[in-house]
């Protein structure tokens, strides 16, 4: 079975949703979007496992914009695992408290992990998730993140943001095993560094609790179940975000209606998606054509100009 055939069929057990047939197109769209423009956090410019580990531990309970100065200060104070291992643990804990980085136990674990790297691994980090999990305070998620971002040797990251993306984009059920399976199938082999950065960026920038699909130029709009239906709930977004009257809401209505009919005349479509539609009114043909043109640009619908009428259909 080819990758495309497998994607279309879903898992053998039938427990995961069908993914788009052309997974390469899905992957390329996300990576291209990420590489064209992303948030420039300093730890994204390093492949030093120690620097990556510090960023991951600090980010567990702290907003990323606040982590940046703390991360830089920490590495100024203790630039290597040898420096950190030799430090007085009380000084490390005091630093943690002074920078409001959450539970002080994480400072103790980081200090202990630095000692393990120096004493048990001759100053060199393990390079795979299993080996990294042996370090004090390093759980499966952090181990995989360090393996991915430092060594390009990780599995697909599945955090809250990634679950939200997969739930919305591909209608993945709210089940940890399903998220793991779909995330693994989506990630291109041997590219965990760029892929995990990209999908986490998507969840942080375009597909947050309040989605910014169009504003952020989400690269998955063409395939996204939520974008087509207008339903942006997610495991961590139990209630529908307010979008009453928004363009996104009416775009979803258009796609749903066209899924029921082979084609619809433009004015008939307008009357079906809002009760106050009037061809020459404020929310008339010009407004509706704008919505249809947006959907056409995204490859979702086609507008046909016929001699007696304009007709809209799904692509």
Q: Output helix, strand, coil percentages for the chain, rounded to the nearest 5.
A: 55, 5, 40
Is residue 88 classed exposed, middle or buried when 0-12, 13-18 and 19+ CB atoms within 10 A define those classes? exposed
Active-site residue flag, 56: yes
| Sign of the CA dihedral with 212 first, then 216, 218, and 222 last | positive
Rounded Cα gap, residues 246 and 230, in angstroms: 10
CB atoms within 10 A of CB 307: 4
Q: Which residues on neighbouring strands pair with residue 314, listed in sequence order?
A: 301
Contact 277, 271 (CB under 8 A): yes
State the first-to-last Cα distance of the chain, in angstroms, to the nearest integer.
Answer: 27
Chain mean position to CA 282: 36
Rounded Cα gap, residues 149 and 152, in angstroms: 6
Tell me which of 15, 47, 51, 56 is the catalytic residue: 56
| Sign of the CA dihedral with 228 first, then 231, 232, and 234 last | negative
Rounded Cα gap, residues 146 and 123, in angstroms: 16
Rounded Cα gap, residues 134 and 159, in angstroms: 21
Residues carrying an active site annotation: 56
């Amino acid at each position: 079975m080819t990758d495309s055939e497998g994607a279309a069929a879903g898992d053998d057990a039938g427990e995961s949703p069908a993914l788009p047939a052309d997974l390469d197109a899905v992957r390329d769209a996300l990576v291209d979007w990420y590489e064209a423009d992303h948030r420039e956090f300093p730890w994204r410019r390093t492949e030093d496992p120690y620097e990556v580990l510090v960023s991951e531990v600090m980010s567990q309970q702290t907003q990323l914009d606040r982590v940046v100065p703390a991360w830089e200060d920490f590495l100024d104070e203790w630039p290597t695992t040898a420096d950190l291992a030799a430090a007085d643990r009380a000084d490390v804990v005091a630093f943690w408290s002074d920078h409001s980085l959450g539970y002080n136990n994480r400072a103790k674990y980081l200090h202990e992990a630095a000692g393990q790297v120096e004493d048990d691994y001759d100053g060199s980090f393990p390079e795979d998730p299993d080996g990294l999990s042996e370090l004090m305070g390093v759980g499966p998620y952090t181990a995989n993140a360090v393996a991915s971002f430092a060594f390009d040797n990780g599995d697909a990251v599945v955090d809250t943001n990634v679950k939200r993306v997969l739930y919305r984009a591909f209608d993945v059920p709210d089940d940890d095993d399903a998220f793991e399976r779909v995330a693994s199938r989506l990630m291109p082999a041997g590219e965990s560094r760029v892929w995990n950065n990209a999908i986490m960026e998507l969840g942080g920038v375009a597909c947050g609790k309040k989605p910014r699909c169009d504003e952020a130029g989400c690269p998955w709009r063409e395939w996204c179940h939520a974008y087509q239906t207008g339903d942006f709930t997610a495991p961590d977004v139990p209630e529908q975000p307010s979008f009453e009257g928004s363009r996104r809401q009416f775009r979803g209505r258009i796609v749903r209606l066209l899924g029921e009919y082979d084609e619809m005349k433009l004015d008939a479509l307008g009357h079906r998606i809002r009760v106050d539609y009037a061809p020459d009114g404020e929310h008339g043909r010009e407004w509706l054509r704008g919505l249809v043109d947006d959907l056409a640009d995204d490859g979702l619908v086609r507008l046909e100009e016929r001699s007696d009428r304009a007709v809209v259909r799904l692509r």
